């Protein structure tokens, strides 16, 4: 029997350790560390470096990678079970060496990078000695990469990049950016763009402003999504990452893993919010009875549990299919499905938790307004929900054939006629008794 919902005891031990470690050592850091990506923050380094060492000693470092790159090569199912624990705390991915966007960036460097690129960019990235940024979205549009206008033109042994990028997360902390630009405007649309590795301190990389999310304060200047103008940025021709004109292929390789990892962490995040909702429901009274006795509150708990469990199973099955087929193309429908389901489940549960906490729920003394906003983040980063739904629908419909008759193939009169024909002899024999 191949279906199995149990974790093997040896790995369960690791998960139990991760669970305690995240709760005891990492969850408190969300109150101490401004950004786990800021390698210039001495407090961050003093606390996070020793924790990373413990993770490495336990052989749990960079579990998204295979042994050739210093990870244990666990595969996606084990990673999903781990990531749902790590999703509970903002700094946890960094402590375990699985933080976005460095994970996706390291995957494409491992896949497409030359040995020099791997030495210069990948190796220090995997050791978290540096952090990276993925710079693709442009101010005039992110969901449709065909409207991108940033270009690179060749000048001798160099490429010269000009244009603007928007919402390039962590650019301010990064040592290098992976930038998608038009190199071959005369090619068909999906073969016009290429990826470049651009050291962030290259002259002409101008961060115009660092944009924050709605729940962050402009005055704190912690915005981490950069609006960047690339002005005559020169990089050597060796900094082309992957094939010229192959930017879309590189982007797809990167995003497949990134999307499912976001979903795994969201599964854990949602579980944490759900726990808060349940605790409040059985603790707070109104009109002489607990909130948990109110049927509409019970409905919120039941709906949340169902959505959370369905989502978790979809994430785990998708992870299993990635391991099974080792080919992201074969699981694009599943990954898009998970990506499309994620913001809704997250938002519904965060909203219900907020509501059950009443005025406390909307206040800054509970995390729910931030969580609701984060659910929108999950519905935008790596492509909007609508685009993923379109992918799901297209791929689902690929498996169907049209019925060329006026009435559908499952039209009841047709089926009845076929059934009567199939059993005509039996019916004939029993004609008298019927």
Q: Residues interacting with ligand FAD, by CB under 6 A? A: 101, 134-137, 141-143, 167-169, 225, 377, 380-381, 383-384, 386-387, 390
Q: How far apart, in whole angstroms, are the C-alpha atoms of residue 316 and residue 336?
A: 14
- Could you check whether the bond before residue 338 is cis, i.e. omega within 30 degrees of 0? no
DSSP states along 150-182: -EEEEETTEEEEEEEEEEEETGGG-SEEEEEEE
Closest distance of CB 138 from ligand FAD, Å: 8
Query: Phi, psi at residue 171, to the nearest 5°?
Result: -55, -40
Closest distance of CB 425 from ligand FAD, Å: 54
Residue among 56 and 202 whose Cβ is closer to ligand FAD:
202
Closest distance of CB 193 from ligand FAD, Å: 13
Residue among 142 and 257 whose Cβ is closer to ligand FAD:
142
Where do the H-state alpha helices sit in 227-331?
247-281, 295-325
Residue among 242 and 383 whose Cβ is closer to ligand FAD:
383
Residue among 169 and 304 whose Cβ is closer to ligand FAD:
169
Is residue 159 within 8 A of residue 196, CB to CB? The reply is yes
Closest distance of CB 162 from ligand FAD, Å: 17
Measuring CA to CA, which residue among 347, 356, 155, 171 is closest to residue 266? 347
Residue among 14 and 239 whose Cβ is closer to ligand FAD:
239
SS3 readout for 3-52: CCCCCCHHHHHHHHHHHHHHHHHHHHHHHCCCCCCCCCCHHHHHHHHHHH
Closest distance of CB 156 from ligand FAD, Å: 29
| Secondary structure (3-state) at 101 | coil
Does an H or E element contain 358, and which? helix 358-362
Work out whether strand 193-199 and strand 240-241 pair parallel, antiparallel, or are unpaired: antiparallel
Position with the least CB separation from ligand FAD? 142
Closest distance of CB 35 from ligand FAD, Å: 14
**How do the residues of the chain divide into helix, strand and coil, expressed in percent and rounded to 5?**
55, 15, 30
Residue among 360 and 390 whose Cβ is closer to ligand FAD:
390
Burial of 135 from C-beta contacts in 10 A (0-12 / 13-18 / 19+): buried
Residue among 315 and 381 whose Cβ is closer to ligand FAD:
381
Within 8 A by CB and 6+ apart from 342, the residues are 262, 263, 266, 311, 378, 379
Residue among 101 and 246 whose Cβ is closer to ligand FAD:
101
Closest distance of CB 141 from ligand FAD, Å: 5
Q: How far apart, in whole angstroms, are the C-alpha atoms of residue 261 and residue 339?
A: 10
Closest distance of CB 410 from ligand FAD, Å: 30
Does an H or E element contain 199, and which? strand 193-199
Closest distance of CB 85 from ligand FAD, Å: 22
Residue among 294 and 377 whose Cβ is closer to ligand FAD:
377
């Amino acid at each position: 029997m191949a279906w199995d919902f149990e974790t093997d005891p040896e790995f369960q031990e690791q998960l139990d350790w991760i669970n305690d470690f995240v709760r005891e050592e990492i969850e408190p850091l969300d109150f101490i560390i401004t950004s786990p990506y800021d390698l210039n923050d001495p407090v961050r380094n003093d606390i996070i470096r020793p924790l990373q060492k413990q993770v490495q000693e336990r052989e749990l470092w960079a579990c998204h990678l295979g042994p050739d790159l210093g990870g244990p090569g666990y595969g996606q199912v084990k990673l999903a079970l781990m990531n749902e624990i790590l999703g509970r705390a903002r700094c946890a991915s960094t402590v375990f060496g699985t933080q976005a966007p460095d994970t996706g960036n390291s995957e494409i460097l491992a896949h497409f990078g030359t040995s020099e690129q791997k030495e210069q960019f990948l190796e220090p990235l995997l050791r978290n000695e540096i952090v990276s940024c993925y710079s693709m979205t442009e101010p005039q549009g992110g969901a449709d990469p065909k409207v991108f206008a940033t270009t690179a033109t060749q000048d001798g042994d160099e490429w010269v990049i000009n244009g603007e990028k928007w919402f390039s997360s962590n650019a301010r902390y990064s040592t290098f950016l992976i930038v998608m630009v038009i190199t071959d405007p005369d090619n068909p649309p999906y073969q016009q763009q290429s990826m470049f590795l651009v050291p962030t301190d290259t002259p002409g990389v101008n961060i115009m402003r660092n944009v924050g999310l709605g729940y962050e304060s402009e005055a704190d200047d912690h915005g981490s999504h950069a609006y960047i103008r690339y002005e005559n940025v020169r990089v050597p021709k060796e900094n082309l990452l992957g094939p010229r004109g192959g930017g879309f292929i590189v982007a797809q390789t990167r995003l497949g893993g990134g999307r499912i990892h976001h979903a795994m962490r969201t599964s854990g995040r949602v579980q944490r919010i759900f726990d808060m909702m349940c605790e409040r429901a059985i603790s707070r009274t109104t009109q002489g009875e607990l909130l948990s006795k109110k049927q509409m509150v019970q409905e919120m708990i039941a709906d949340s549990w169902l959505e959370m469990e369905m989502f978790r199973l979809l994430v785990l099955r998708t992870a299993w299919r990635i391991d099974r087929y080792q080919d992201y193309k074969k699981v694009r429908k599943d990954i898009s499905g998970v990506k499309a389901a994620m913001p809704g489940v997250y938002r519904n549960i965060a909203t219900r938790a907020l509501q059950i906490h009443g005025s406390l729920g909307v206040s800054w003394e509970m995390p729910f307004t931030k969580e609701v906003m984060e659910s929108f983040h999950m519905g935008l980063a790596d492509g909007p929900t609508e685009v993923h739904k379109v992918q799901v629908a297209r791929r689902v419909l690929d498996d169907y054939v049209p019925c060329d008759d006026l009435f559908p193939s499952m039209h009841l009169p047709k089926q009845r006629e076929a059934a009567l024909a199939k059993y005509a002899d039996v019916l004939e024999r029993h004609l008298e008794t019927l």
